[in-house]
Amino acid sequence: MNIDDLLSEPLAPVADNGFSAQVMTQIRRQEQRQLILLGITAAFVATVACLLLPVTALTELLNGIVITLATSLEVGVAAVVILATWLFDRQFFHFWN
């Protein structure tokens, strides 16, 4: 028999016996554990950062950055372009179709 003939024939069905469902359940549990671990790690790092960093200096720095960004024309134009792109992607502008 030719190899092309062998490869062109469909394979016989294989009994799953719930194996795929078990594997998917294990994958979901592992992903859930990873998300929980990530959340715990982020909370721990944020707590340590709040305890070790000087809060006053950090808030003054963030206030200066926020005020600079809020009054920047370039950031405003970029925000409008991003919003328009997002609305266009979501087909919000029906009259252009």
pLDDT at 91 over 90: no
The domain spans of the chain are 18-53, 55-97
DSSP letters, 4-56, are HHHHHSPPPP---TTHHHHHHHHHHHHHHHHHHHHHHHHHHHHHHHHHHS-HH
> Model pTM?
0.47
Question: What are the pLDDT digits (tens) for 26-74?
Answer: 999 999 999 999 999 999 999 998 888 887 888 898 899 999 988 999 9
pLDDT at 2: 85
Question: What are the pLDDT digits (tens) for 2-39?
Answer: 888 888 888 888 888 889 999 999 999 999 999 999 99
